[in-house]
Structure 1
Amino acid sequence: MSYVGDGSGILFAEPGARWRSVSYGPGLCLIILFLEVVTASAVHWFALIFCAALIAGFVVLQVIAGRRHVSVELTDSILREGAETLPLSGIAAVLPERDENSWDDEDWESARALGELSGVPRRRGGIGLRLVDGSFVQAWAKDHPGLRAALTEALDRQRGTAGIDSTVGTTDSVDDPDGTDGRHSENGVER
């Protein structure tokens, strides 16, 4: 799913769809054909060939769409999500993951998703990014923890701050030594 350090400058990649899935429908039709021949029953040549071609044709369209619209690629200089490319120099910070225990949504969760789709694609996780201009966007990937780690590492390397957290400047409990930061828990009691 993800490729790291393969010599081509690609730090992370997800293809969106794989060409091997085109062979599943025709393979199933081939198994059915084999069973019909072995059992000496009527062989439905035309129906099986027609179904195999039809299924393969639809899956080819899905693979092309998947590779175009839900593929992810991260290099040393760009992040490409679907058909949208974002230079790493335009990213100010990778925001922390959503707190599962919090009832409040993070600012980045309602931000625009990268790519030309209306939101984060199904079966993919969002990653909050703060851009240099102060706005928020969502990057996404199936392996979103892997993309988060590769993106954070690439930004650190680009800025020459390896080992320093790139999420500096986000709100966390560092500013509040006792960890309460004046908020209440879900049941109304002070934290």
Structure 2
Amino acid sequence: MIEARGDSGVLFAEPGARWRTVAYGPILCLIIFILELVTGSSVHWFALLFCGSLIAIFVVLQVIAGRRHVSVELTDTALREGTETLPLTSIAAVLPERDDDSWDDEDWESARALGELSGVPRRRTGIGLRLSDGTLVQAWAKDHRALRAALSTAIGQPPRSDDLEAEASETASADATEVAGKDSENGADR
């Protein structure tokens, strides 16, 4: 999800949509064309050309909209969420993640989402931010943990202890799985 760019100032980036998706429809029509040639049935030249072109045109519009309205970019100086750019100097704090065990919603979950969308886009997760003037807003990204870590680093906020504990437990469980896998491969588990 994170796209590296040549700019050294880009700390995190998600494109919102990828240009390669434009080729999916025409490739499918090409496969159908090849199958019609191989099987000896009548080839539907016009229909396949028309459908491939039409699909490509609609997907181009979706990619343009996705890249404009659902892309995320964090630089040394600003956070851009869709069409809205927020200077990092106006961010006072990155709020902790929602507690999944809690029945209560966090205050930031009902705050305005950044960008000109009505809420957090689908398949993205909100991140609570407290601005310098005290208002709450939601940043969002597919890889919300990476954006949260990059934002915390960018504004100079130390990592939270519960974030460090979660990271340590994930690392420990990954190490334990790796060790268990090595033992069972060598037959040393019995």
Matches within 5 A, 1:11-50: 11-50=11-50
Does the Cα contact within 8 Å between 1:33 and 1:44 map onto a contact in 2? yes
Output the CA distance in 2 between the equivalents of 1:103 and 1:40: 63
Structure 1: which 5+ runs fail to align? 168-191
Counterpart code for 2:18: R
Deviation string, structure 1 residues 74-124 (Cα, Å, up to 9, x no partner): 000000000000000000000000011111111100000000000000000
Percent identity over paired residues: 75
1:59 equivalent in alignment to 2:59: yes
Give the aligned partner of residue 178 of structure 2: none
Does the Cα contact within 8 Å between 1:3 and 1:11 map onto a contact in 2? no
Output the CA distance in 1 between the equivalents of 2:31 and 2:3: 34
Give the aligned partner of residue 177 of structure 1: none
Q: Determine helix, strand or coil for the equivalent of 2:126.
A: strand
Return the TM-score normalized by structure 1.
0.81
Backbone CA RMSD of aligned residues? 1.6
Aligned residues: 161
Does the Cα contact within 8 Å between 1:93 and 1:166 map onto a contact in 2? no
Output the CA distance in 2 between the equivalents of 1:5 and 1:58: 27
Matches within 5 A, 1:1-191: 1-3=1-3, 7-156=7-156, 164-165=158-159
Q: Answer 1 or 2: which has greater helix percent.
A: 2
Output the CA distance in 2 between the equivalents of 1:6 and 1:95: 30
Change beyond 3 A, Cα 1:17–1:5: closer
Shift of 1:3: 3.8
Output the CA distance in 2 between the equivalents of 1:4 and 1:42: 46
Return the TM-score normalized by structure 2.
0.81
Shift of 1:8: 2.8
Shift of 1:2: 1.0
Counterpart code for 2:46: F
